[in-house]
Amino acid sequence: MNQGKGNILLVDDEENLHEALKLNLEMEGYEVTSAFNGSEALKAIANEYFDLVVLDVMMPEVDGITVAETMRVNNLDTPILMLSAKNTSADRVLGLKKGADDYLAKPFNLEELLLRVEKLITKNQKIQEKETIGDLYNFGGNTIDFKAQHATTHDGKQIELSKKETMLLKLLVENKGEVVTREKILQVVWGYNVYPTTRTIDNFILNFRKHFEPDSRNPVHFHSVRSVGYKFNN
């Protein structure tokens, strides 16, 4: 899989168009996951990180507007390219208000769609790229050596860190002060196709608190944000 290009969720119940779009996106080097209705889309979004959602508006049961609105209510900031046969100003405004980053009316030019996809993914990846930190990082009397996978705690203890612990620590530190979603952690630390339970990530956070917090029951540095993700404060 070409992870550099991006991972796209394609949501459209019109099978012929869906297959044509999937083929063309894959030919451009994207990894494409298919959903044929809003319910399938929401399940996929809950379990995997996507760089972009290409989302049809008019679908049975759960429509595209509801999917977009649900994503934003749950603090998922994945870019959305909305597709719709409706092309009035009011329809476009509604789509954008409910969370779409771009809106393309059907029928559309394939080359234009591919350009919009590329721009949205490139923009999102630039936003996601944080200033990288060095090999050593200090906070609250603790020192992390990311390269050696080693830490010295505030009370002088020496700790060996696993590769996954080191990766998760680095991800949280690079995004300090911001909530890192569970989906983002799964993508970066475990990879696209391996999904541990939420409890697994919780256990990592509990260990970090035990090692690096003076009072693990009243954490200063490592916080869980219910139903969303985790946050590090220096």
Lowest mean pLDDT among 111-115, 120-124, 158-162, 208-212: 120-124
Containing structural domain, residue 31:
7-128
In 24-54, which positions are buried (b, 16+ CB within 10 angstroms) versus exposed (e)? bbeeeebbbbbbbbbebbbebbeebbbbbbb
The tens digit of pLDDT for each residue in 21-48 reads 999 999 999 999 999 999 999 999 988 8
Single out the residue in 128, 155, 171 at which a domain terminates: 128
| 31, β-bridge pairs | 7
The reply to whether 2 falls in a domain is no
pTM: 0.61
Please check whether residues 149 and 123 belong to one and the same domain: no
pLDDT, position 193: 56
* Final residue before a domain boundary, out of 108, 128, 148: 128
**Structurally, how many domains does the chain consist of?**
2
Q: pLDDT at residue 73 above 90?
A: no
Which pair of structure tokens corresponds to residue 78? 């994945």
pLDDT of residue 1: 37
CATH of the domain at 92: 3.40.50.2300
Residues 16 and 119 grouped into a single domain: yes
What length does the chain have? 234
Neighbours of 167 (CB within 10 A): 17
Give CA–CA dist 157/211, Å, rounded. Answer: 9
